[in-house]
A and B are shown apart, each in its own frame.
Chain A
Amino acid sequence: MANITLTIDGIQVTVPKGSTVLEAAKTAGVFIPTFCHDPELSKPGACRICVVEIPGMRNLPASCVTEAQEGMVVNTQTPAILAARKTILELLLANHPEDCLTCPKNGECKLQEYAYFYGVKADTLKGAKHDYPVEDDNPFIVRDMNKCILCGRCIRMCDEIQGKHIIDFAYRGFNSKVTPAMDTPYSESDCAFCGNCVAVCPVGALSEKGMLRKGRRWEIQKVKTTCPYCGAGCNFDLNVKDGKVIGVTSTDGDVNGRALCVKGRFGYGFIHHPDRLTTPLIKKNGKFEEASWEEAINLVAEKLGGIKAKYGADANAILSSARCTNEENYLMNKFSRVVLGTNNIDHCARL
C-alpha cells in the first residue's frame, strides 16, 4: 500500500494511505486524547475531544475521522485546541458526579485521566446534573448513567462485535441516554450479560458488580490467562489482589480480542467460594468423611490401578473440570495418557 507523509506538531511521519490523523499521531508519538474512538469499532467522531487544527480546514476537525493526506500539517497543541479540550472536559465534569473517591473506576477512568492531564477542575461550570437511579438489579453489571459521557462505545460493542444491539441512544440532547429498548433495565432486556459493554466503557458508568469495593484499580495485579470454560480459548485478565481473584477483565486476546461471554467474565465466583472442598472426602458407610491426602491418594491409586490390571487401561476414563486451573487440567491430561495409559479423557467444556 502507498504511504503518505505528513507533519504533526513539527514531526514528520509516514503512514499508510488511508490512515487517520489520529493513527498518524500515534505513529509519530504525539498524544491525542479520545473518548468515543475505539480501534475495533466504527468511528462516530462524536466526542470531539480529539479535535486538531489543520490549516485550510474549516473549524476543528476530529482527528479520529479525518484522513491523513500527503503534505498535511497538523497541530495538536494550539491555544484553540487546548481551549476546546478543556472546555469539553469542563462540560463533561459539569454533568458528572464528583465521587471519584468511591468510584470503582477510579484510576482507570479516561475522564479523570484527562482532567488531571489538562488541569481541569470539576466545578468550573455549574448547572443541572442528571439524577438517574443507579441500576444494580442484576448480578453482574452496575450501570450508573449519571457517569455516562455518551461516547457510545458500549452501543457499538454490543452491535458490532457482540451482534446483539441491545442498547442504543434514547431521548435527545441533554436528556440523551444509553438504554435498552423502551428504557428498561438490562435485566428486562435480551441482554446476555457478556459484559463487553463494561470492557469498553471509558468511565464509571458501567462497572463489574463483583469487583465493587474489592480493590482499587492500581492495587490489582492482572494475570493474563485462557478461559477454561470452553474450547474457544478466549484470553482474559484475572484481577488479583492479595493473592485472591477479585474479578475478570478483558485483555487483548489472540482469538477473542476483548470479547468474553457471561461465564468467562463473571463466572469466577467458585474460586474462593466457601463451599469449595479443601480436603479429600471418602465415602464410608454411605457418608462422606474427611480424609488425609495420603489416604485419599492411596485409595484412588489402588482402585484405578486395580481396574487397569483387571480390565485393561481403557477401562478407566477421566472427566476434568472447567473449575480447575488450566495447569491442573494439563496435568490431568498427562496423568490420563501417561500414567493410566488411556486416551479416555474429556472435559466439561465439551458437554
Chain B
Amino acid sequence: MNNLNEIRAKYTEQFQQKSKRARIVVGLGTCGIAAGGDKVMEAIKQEVAARNLDIDIDFTSCIGMCYREPIVEVALPGMASVIYGDIFPDKVSQLIESHVVNKQPVTEWAAMQIPEGRTEYDGIVTMDKSAYYEKQVRTVTSRLGRTNPESIEDYIATGGYEAIEKALSMDRLAVIDEVKKSGLRGRGGAGFSTGMKWTFVYNAQGDKKYAVCNADEGDPGAFMDRSVLEGDPHGVIEGMMIGGYAIGADEGYIYCRAEYPLAIRRLNLAIAKAEKLGLLGENILGSGFNFRIRIKAGAGAFVCGEETALLNSIEGQRGMPRVRPPFPANKGLWQKPTTLNNVETYANVPFILRKGADWYAGMGTEKSKGSKVFCLTGKINNTGLAEVPMGITLREVIFNIAGGIQDGKQFKAVQSGGPSGGCLPAEKLDLPIDYESLGAVGAIMGSGGLVVMDENTCMVDVARFFLNFTQNESCGKCIPCREGTKRMLEILTRICDGEGKVEDMDTLERLANVIKTASLCGLGQTCPNPILTTLRYFRHEYEAHIIDKRCPAGVCNALLVYKIIAENCTGCGACRRVCPVGAISGENKQPHTLDTAACIKCGGCVSKCKFDAIIRG
C-alpha cells in the first residue's frame, strides 16, 4: 500500500454512517470503568435487547470529565450527541425510555451536548459553552470521548496517519524544522524544545537510532498520559513514527508503567492493527522507511520516568539514572543515539504536521506554544482532564474549569508538577501557566498534575506527603537524595508530630538547597521544591506547628486538642454515644465534658455534633 486514500475514504464513509444511526456510547477509560462504566454498558446491552431496539452500542475513552463518570453519550440521527454524567445501571432504563424511545433527552442528567452540525436540543448547554470546556482547546485530547480508541478505522477517519504520510513525503530535516518552528516543548515537564532534541539525534553518529516514548507517568495526581494512551493510542504511535522518521530511527520503544494495563492493552492492539495495515513494519507506505514499536512495561519505580533510568530499565538493568553527558541523543538506548519524548509530546506531533507549525505556534505564549493537558485533582468541584492553551491563568483553570473549591471552602494552594513541583498560594493564582512563569515562583510545569488544596489542608503535612513519596522512590544512587530525603522527611514528620524545633526550618532549607544543587538526577534536584515553596509561602504554618504547637488547618493529629464549648452544647448526647473510648461524659440536656487525656482524636464527635459545640485546634 503506497497511500491511505482508498481506505481513508472507506473508513470516513463508515464513520459518517455512524452518526446517521441512533447510538449509545459508554466512556470506558480507566476512570469510567472504575466508576462502574462496564456495568452500565452491560445494563445498556440488556435494556436494548429487552426492548429490541435497533441502535448501535459503542464505547469510547474518557472525555475528560472524570467527575461525571460513568459517562454515557446518546445520539439520535440528525440530533446533537447528549453527554450524560453519573449514569449508573439504575438510570439506564429511564434514560433509554426517555431519550431513545421517546426522543426526549433527560435534561437534568445531561452534562452537555455536542452538536457537530446536527440539531441542538433546548435546555442543554453545548460543549463549547459549558463551564468545563469553554476555556479549553482540544488538540491532543480531541479524539478522547469522541472515537473508539480500539478502532484504527475511527482513527484514520478522523485524520489519522495523514501526518505520517505527509512527513514521509518531506525531507527529514524539513520535518524537524516544522516541529522546531511550532515551538513544541517537552510535555514531560522539563520543556526542552522537541525540534532541537530531534536535531541532536539526527546529527548524532550511529548505525542504529531509537525513538523512545516515556509513558512512565508516576506523579501523584497525574493521569494525562494514561488518558491519552487509552483514548488515542494511534496518535502516540503516529507521533513516534514521525519522530523516528525524522531522526533516522527504525525502532521505537514505549516504556509504559505496568500499573496502566488498559493503556498497554490498547497500545498493543493499536500496534497490531497498524502492523496489519502496513503502517508499522518494513517499507511503510512504499517510502522505504521501516519502523517497529515495542512496549516495555515498567516495574513500578517512579525514578524510571527519569530518561536515563528509563533507558537502563529497558536494557534490563537496575533503574538508576546515568550521568549526563553523554546525553541520550548521543548515547542512549544500548549506547545508540536515542530521542526520548513524553506521550503528550508525541501526541502533539501529528497535529503539528497536519495543521502546520504556524497554527500550533498561534496558541500559547511567546516561549510556551500550543496547549497543555492538565489533570485537575484535589479539593475542587470538577476533577478531570483539561487541555488548555498555554498562558491561561491558574485562576481560570481552578475556578472556571475545575469549578472552584468544594463545599464553598477557601482556596489555599495549588501544587503544580507533582512531587517535583511547588505549592503556590492564592496570590499566585493570576500567574499564566507557562514553563518560565511557573519556574520563576519555585514550581514547575511538570507533566501536568494540578493538585488543589483548600483551607483544611495543612501545608507542612503536604510537604511531608510529597517527601514521603520521593523518599520512597529515591533510587539510592547519590548521597544527597538517598540520605537527604530521609532526613528531611524525618524532620517534617517531627514537626507534624509537634516535636519540631525552631532550627528545623533552617536545617530543612539548608538540606533542601544542597539536595537541589548537588543531586545526580532530576528526582533529587526537584524533590526539595515542595519544602522550599511551603517554607516560602506558608512559613507561618511551620511556625505555628513548631512554636505554638498548633496545626492551623486542624490536620496534624498530635497537635489537635478537642474541646467542648459549654455554651453551645445542648447535652444531646450524640457525641457521647459515638465516642469509641468513652472520653465524653455528661447528663442529658447538660453541657458535656471531654477528657482530653482519654481522647484518641478520631474526630467522630465533631462530625456528629449539630451545634458546633466541639472544636479541634
The chain A residues found within 8 Å of chain B, CB to CB, are 35, 43-49, 51, 59-60, 62, 65, 67, 80, 83-84, 87-88, 91-92, 94-95, 125, 127-128, 149-150, 152, 168-169, 171-176
Contacts and interface: CB of A to CB of B under 8 A. Distances in A.
A174 B517 CA distance: 19
Interface string B492-528: 0000000000000001001101101111100001000
A150 B486 CA distance: 15
B518 A44 contact: no
Interface string B470-494: 0111111111101111110010000
Given A62-B520, A172-B476, 11 more contacts: A44-B323, A48-B518, A51-B518, A59-B516, A80-B517, A84-B518, A88-B514, A91-B483, A150-B479, A174-B471, A174-B474
A62 B323 contact: yes
A88 B480 contact: yes
A87 B513 CA distance: 10
B520 A45 contact: yes
Contacts of B485: 173-174
A45 B474 contact: no
A169 B318 contact: yes
A44 B318 contact: no
A67 B325 CA distance: 9
Nearest to B472: A173
B301 interface: yes
A59 B525 CA distance: 9
Nearest to A95: B483
A301 B302 CA distance: 78
Interface residues of B, number: 33
A83 B323 contact: no
B191 to A, nearest CB: 14
Contacts of A127: 486-487, 490
Given A43-B323, A94-B487, A125-B507, A174 B518 contact: no
Given A84-B514, A168-B318, A173-B485, A91 B323 contact: no
B476 A174 contact: yes
Contacts of B507: 125
Contacts of B476: 150, 169, 171-176
Given A60-B518, A87-B511, A173 B525 contact: no
Nearest to B474: A173
A260 to B, nearest CB: 28
A91 B479 contact: yes
Contacts of A87: 480, 484, 510-511, 514, 518
Contacts of B490: 127-128
B320 interface: yes
Contacts of B474: 172-174
A44 B476 CA distance: 12
B520 A46 contact: yes
Contacts of A46: 477-479, 520
24 contacts: A35-B479, A46-B520, A47-B479, A51-B518, A60-B518, A62-B520, A83-B513, A83-B514, A87-B480, A87-B484, A87-B514, A88-B479, A88-B480, A88-B514, A91-B484, A125-B507, A150-B476, A152-B477, A172-B475, A173-B475, A173-B485, A174-B486, A175-B476, A176-B475
B471 A45 contact: no
A137 B135 CA distance: 68
B482 A173 contact: yes
A321 B479 CA distance: 48
Nearest to B319: A172
A48 B478 contact: yes
A-B pairs with lowest CB-CB distance, top 9: A176-B476, A173-B474, A91-B483, A45-B323, A87-B514, A127-B490, A174-B486, A84-B518, A59-B517
A83, A84, A150, A172: residue with the most chain B Cβ atoms closer than 10 Å: A172
A223 to B, nearest CB: 36
B495 to A, nearest CB: 14
A83 B301 contact: no
Nearest to A151: B479
A94 B320 contact: no
A150 B517 CA distance: 20
A59 B481 CA distance: 14
B483 A94 contact: yes
Contacts of B513: 83
A95 B479 CA distance: 11
A44, A46, A59: residue with the most chain B Cβ atoms closer than 10 Å: A46
Contacts of B325: 67
Interface in B112-156: none
B477, B484, B486: residue with the most chain A Cβ atoms closer than 10 Å: B477
A49 B518 CA distance: 9
A47 B519 CA distance: 9
A176 B485 CA distance: 13
A25 B473 CA distance: 34
Contacts of A152: 477
